[in-house]
């Protein structure tokens, strides 16, 4: 079962053409001509239905702009950026929750840096064989391969260790910079947008790829939430209870790779890991239950994304940096609220019942 999910997952990302072409062909026919004329990569026929979704979204935000008079909402690139930001605000803390509580916060950083190598490969292929796909797609592929490698190494050595993570991180980044410098002659694209993220360079294609990633991540977590929770909280007991723990670990790291690449467009390689970690850390200060923590972390992340994008627009600053600063400010606030909560909640400690041998018989 899990094997099948993973195979599908890999297939869905490595070969979106095969998975989506049916939908793309049937729905793509009725698309506006302008859409098809603007883009020319082989991916576009596949992503056509999503371009339609983006169009609708753009119309909706434009309508909000009219009603509210907010200047920031008037630009098309902003419409896409906000949608991407909203998706990041859901999927980053969703996956981050399963990482942070296993002390795996660093893995997001390692994967982001290997994804940079993927970006470089994508730019390289586009320049040499005119592949015409967004570099974020090659980044997903490379990051997922790196994620699997990290996981397999940890299975063999029985530990996620920060040394191997640091090696993967620097290897990825070194590979990326090397490829880009070799390729520099034929390259017009600045790599700044990949390192630091950029609101205005979110293309329709990369926004559509993000929507695909978002759908995969949310549905995989929705289906496997029980198993992921058990594995995160108590790996040994999860193993005893018959859960194939290794498979779930592989799923989590691959989903992490997807989140990282998805969030990279706005956050950039260097800051992307913050979205996996900071909202989750804030939520665990105030939340009591796991479900509550998940919900709160998503709310905090969305707040950070929306406030951050808004502030960065009016201040003329890089969105990624502002979003992270807002997230950290929210985290500090959450710590304070958490402290107040604990102080207020301490007086009411319920009486602990005795172990009830008689009703013990009821439990089996």
Partner 1 sequence: MSADTSTEQRVGARDGADTADAADETAATTETTDSSRSADPVIELSDVEFGYTATPVVRDISLAIEPGEYLAVVGPNGSGKSTLMKLMLGLLEPDQGTATLFGESAHRFDDGQRVGYVAQHASASKEMPITVREVVKMGRFPHVGFGTLSSEDWQVVDEALVTVGMGEFANRRITQLSGGQRQRAFIARALASEAEMLVLDEPTVGVDAESVDAFYDLLESLNDQGITVLLIEHDLGAVTDHADRVVCLNGRVHFDGPTEEFVDSDALARAFGTAANLAGDGG
Residue 77 as a binder of partner 1 (CB under 8 A): the answer is no
Q: Are 200 and 77 in contact (CB under 8 A)?
A: yes
Distance (Å, rounded) from C-alpha 216 to C-alpha 268? 21
Residue 233 as a binder of partner 1 (CB under 8 A): the answer is yes
Nearer to partner 1, 162 or 356 (CB): 356
Q: Are 84 and 266 in contact (CB under 8 A)?
A: yes
Residue 121 as a binder of partner 1 (CB under 8 A): the answer is no
Q: How far is CA 268 from the centre of its chain?
A: 12
Residue of the chain from 82, 243, 255, 275 that contacts partner 1 (CB under 8 A): 243
Residue 15 as a binder of partner 1 (CB under 8 A): the answer is no
Q: Choose the stretch contacting partner 1; rule: CB under 8 A; options: 54-62, 73-81, 219-227, 298-306.
A: 219-227
Residue 8 as a binder of partner 1 (CB under 8 A): the answer is no
| Residue 18-37 contact track with partner 1, rule CB under 8 A, x = bound | --------------------
Residue 288 as a binder of partner 1 (CB under 8 A): the answer is yes
Nearer to partner 1, 68 or 219 (CB): 219
Q: Choose the stretch contacting partner 1; rule: CB under 8 A; options: 12-20, 30-38, 88-96, 344-352.
A: 344-352
Question: Packing angle between helix 106-129 and helix 76-100, nearest 10 degrees?
Answer: 140
Taking residue 363's Cβ as centre, other Cβ atoms within 10 Å add up to: 6
Enter the tokens of residue 131. Answer: 């592949």
Distances, alpha carbon 129 to alpha carbons 126, 185, 233, 360, in Å: 6, 15, 47, 70
Instruction: Outline where 202-361 has alpha helix (H).
Output: 204-233, 235-240, 245-286, 290-315, 319-345, 357-360
Residues of this chain that bind partner 1 (CB under 8 A)? 101, 223-224, 226-227, 229-230, 232-234, 236-244, 283-284, 287-293, 295, 350-364
């Amino acid at each position: 079962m899990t094997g099948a999910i993973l195979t599908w997952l890999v297939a869905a990302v490595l070969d979106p053409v095969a998975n989506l072409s049916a939908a793309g062909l049937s729905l793509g026919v009725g698309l506006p001509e302008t859409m098809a004329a603007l883009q020319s990569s082989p991916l576009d026929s596949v992503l056509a239905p999503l371009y339609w979704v983006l169009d609708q979204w753009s119309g909706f935000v434009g309508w909000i702009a009219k009603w509210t008079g907010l200047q920031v909402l008037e630009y098309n690139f902003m419409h896409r950026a906000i949608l991407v930001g909203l998706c990041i605000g859901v999927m980053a803390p969703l996956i981050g929750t399963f990482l942070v509580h296993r002390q795996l916060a660093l893995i997001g950083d390692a994967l982001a840096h290997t994804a940079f190598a993927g970006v470089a490969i994508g730019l390289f292929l586009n320049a040499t064989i005119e592949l015409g796909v967004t570099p974020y797609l090659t980044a997903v592929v490379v990051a997922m391969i790196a994620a699997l490698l990290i996981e397999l190494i940890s299975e063999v050595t029985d530990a996620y260790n920060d040394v191997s993570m640091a090696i993967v991180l620097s290897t990825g980044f070194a590979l990326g910079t090397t490829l880009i410098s070799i390729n520099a002659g034929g390259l017009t694209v600045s790599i700044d947008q990949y390192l630091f993220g950029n609101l205005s360079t979110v293309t329709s294609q990369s926004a559509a790829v993000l929507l695909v990633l978002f759908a995969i991540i949310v549905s995989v977590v929705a289906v496997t939430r029980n198993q992921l929770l058990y594995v995160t909280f108590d790996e040994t007991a999860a193993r005893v209870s018959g859960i194939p723990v290794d498979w779930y670990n592989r799923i989590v790291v691959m989903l992490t790779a997807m989140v990282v690449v998805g969030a990279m467009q706005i956050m950039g390689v260097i800051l992307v890991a913050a979205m996996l970690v900071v909202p989750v850390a804030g939520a665990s200060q105030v939340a009591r239950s796991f479900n509550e923590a998940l919900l709160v972390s998503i709310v905090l992340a969305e707040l950070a994304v929306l406030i951050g994008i808004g502030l960065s627009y009016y201040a003329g600053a890089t969105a990624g940096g502002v979003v992270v600063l807002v997230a950290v400010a929210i985290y500090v606030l959450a710590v304070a609220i958490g402290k107040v909560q604990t102080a207020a909640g301490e007086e009411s400690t319920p009486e602990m019942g005795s172990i009830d041998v008689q009703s013990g018989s009821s439990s089996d």
